[in-house]
Structure 1
Amino acid sequence: MTTEITGSVDFFVEGQIYQTWYKIVGDLMTGAHRPLVILHGGPGLDHGYVLPNALIYEKAGIPVVFYDQLGGGRSTHRPDAPKEFWTPELFMDELDNLLKHLHIQDDFDLLGHSWGGMLGAQYAASRSPKGLKRLIISNSPASMDLFEAGINALLEEFPADVVQKIRKHEADGTTHEQEYLSFMMTFYGKHVCKMDPMPEVLANSLKTMESEPTVYRTMQGLSEFSLTGTLKGWTIVDILHNISCPTLLLSAPLDEVQQPAVLPFFLKIQKIKWVEFQNSTHLACYDEPEKYFKVVLDFLEGTEGAN
């Protein structure tokens, strides 16, 4: 029988109190397994689309902690916040706060997907948390300049007239129009999730972010191709050597995060194993679930460090 607990924790920022909502699948109290904390992507999505990772508890008894990062899902929203509010440091502070609230700061693993992997890697590299035992970076870039070059190369593979229309929508700020949204669904089908129809939990997470786009618009920009937000120029390539815990790197040739953006992790992190999912896009947990969960569990349950 699966044990699920939901709750929220106070998060203090600049004298204000916010709420971070979380869900725990499994039991943190037994101590039988080190808990795994999941960092969702976006920035600005919620935990819903990464819920398939609850199977990690079902398959191996490893407690899994999900949470909605500030600004999205069931956590506090701040549509009025200035752009300077939304920083990687804010989200690293939020993660520290949650770990302490759950009393797992001395012994935990992290799995970050997309933006969550960027956050997890920056957290591991810049704060060197002693309690972090294993890190999984899933479908994440080490540099936003490298990400931008790769995803725009994928866009240019579409017919020239389609690309021209997409560029015009972005220049005109009309990315909310149906023509643009329809193209994005086509792009997602090729480079984000191959399942047709799109899984309901993923579609719901995207809709949730569309209804409250503050974090995404501020940090990313108008779209995946139009990087105009505060993450433009973001890179952690120069500090990746500080990550000392065993690390698993996941990617896919068809992913919107192309190989050059992933490669610095492999070259710079000391103890790392890199697995590419040849038949997946951005979400191997949907595209190749059997292989995905085997790779992840083999790493989490391994008695030796990553290769």
Structure 2
Amino acid sequence: MATLAGDGRAVVHYDQLGCGRSTHLPDAPADFWDVGLFVEELRTVVDALGIADRFHLLGQSWGGMLAPEVVLADPSGVASLTICDSPASMELWLQAANRLRQELPDDVQAALTRHEQAGTTDTPEYAAAMQVFYDRHVCRVVPNPPEVSASFEQIEAEPTVYHTMNGPSEFHVIGSLREWSVVDRLDRIDVPTLVVAGAYDEAQPEVWAPYVERIAGARSHVFPESSHMPHVEEPEAFVDVVGSFLREHDAGAAR
């Protein structure tokens, strides 16, 4: 994402609470981690940086679920919204994930189901089976680039937020986001919006279609060689598509 700075803009990539160099709270109660917390955090960040008057908002995966929530809570200052590889509801996400799971080899499907039913998703066998799905639908650059590996290593080392809100894997969602949906509120968004995804993405077209269908004027782009991380899998094309959209809506935006 930092490559978007190539045309002179500032790119702010912050560590959310519970991640990276931000404060970790492994003992916080489960209900502490909710969408409202992260909406407030983002507004705190842009206020502290002095860019709240005008900024582009881009979210990838969970970030693309959070970004429309930020706009719905308070659209002030948002010059544009870019949603990358993100569902409009977890119901849609799980429907697509289950369909993609059925395309995995039989032994892989069996291992995933066996461990999920037994509650043993922390075993090496489950991790190996999970990786088959990830190599197809999360990041098709194998071995994963260092920044991608580092992200997964961080989740493994300190899984509090991911496990509490999502669950043990991308497709076994049993956390607090299990019932999340923004579908019925999307017609209230009135900022320029771009939706992107990969052709092999776990975020299949039906997962992100409501953004395009319900946000007035929203546009979409699918990267033909990518799965869930086009910014890693097709970085030049990603920067070209997203960068062009940002430049189109730069007028008056902080750079």
SS at match of 2:144: coil
1:259 paired residue number: 205
- 1:165 aligns to 2:98 (yes or no): no
What amino acid maps onto 1:158 in structure 2? L
Query: Residue type of the partner of 1:195?
Result: V
Per-residue Cα deviation, 1:235-267 (whole angstroms, up to 9, x for no partner): 000111111110110012310111111100000
Structure 2 letter corresponding to 1:184:
M
The aligned counterpart of 1:78 is 25
Give the aligned partner of residue 99 of structure 1.
46
- Structure with greater proportional helix content: 2
Secondary structure of residue in 1 paired with 2:13: strand
> Displacement of 1:303 after TM fit?
5.3
Cα separation, 1, equivalents of 2:168 and 2:221: 31
Structure 1 residues 71-120: Cα deviation after superposition (integer angstroms, max 9, x where no partner): 11111111111111000000000011111111111110011000000000
SS at match of 2:190: coil
TM-score relative to the length of structure 2:
0.95
- 3-state DSSP class of the match of 2:12? strand
In structure 2, C-alpha distance between the alignment counterparts of 1:249 and 1:264, rounded to whole Å: 10
Q: Residue 247 of structure 2 aligns with which residue?
A: 301
Q: Given residue 100 of structure 2, which amino acid in structure 1 is its aligned partner?
A: L
Shift of 1:129: 2.1
How many Å separate the matches in 2 of 1:96 and 1:289? Answer: 28
Q: Output the CA distance in 2 between the equivalents of 1:83 and 1:192.
A: 26
Matches of 2:151 and 2:82, distance apart in 1: 22
Q: Which runs of 4+ in 1 moved over 6 A?
A: none
TM-aligned CA deviation for residue 184 of structure 1: 2.0
Letter in 2 for 1:106: D
Match for residue 28 of structure 1? none
Partner of 2:161: 215
Tell me: CA distance 1:303–1:133, structure 2 relative to 1, closer, same or farther (3 Å).
Answer: closer
Corresponding residue for residue 122 of structure 2:
176
SS at match of 1:67: coil
- Superposition map of 1:24-173 within 5 A: 53-57=1-5, 59-124=6-71, 126-173=72-119
Looking at structure 1, the residues matched to 124 and 89 of structure 2 have their Cα atoms a distance apart, in angstroms, of: 31
**1:229 Cα deviation (Å)?**
0.6
Deviation at 1:201, TM superposition (A): 0.9
CA distance in 1, matches of 2:45, 2:212: 29
CA distance in 2, matches of 1:245, 1:162: 42
- The 1-side partners of 2:98 and 2:131 are apart by 16
C-alpha distance in structure 2 between counterparts of 1:175 and 1:73, whole Å: 24
Q: TM-score, normalised by structure 1?
A: 0.79
Q: Which residue identity is paired with 1:203?
A: S
CA distance in 1 between partners of 2:103 and 2:97 (Å): 10
**Structure 1 residues 273 and 117 mapped into 2: Cα distance closer, same or farther (>3 Å)?**
same
Question: What fraction of aligned residue pairs are identical, expressed as a percent?
Answer: 42
Larger fraction in strand: 1
Deviation (angstroms), 1:169: 0.9
Compute the displacement of 1:304 (Å): 9.2
Contact 1:128 1:243 in 2 (8 A): no
Q: Indicate conservation of the 8 Å contact 1:128/1:242, yes or no.
A: no
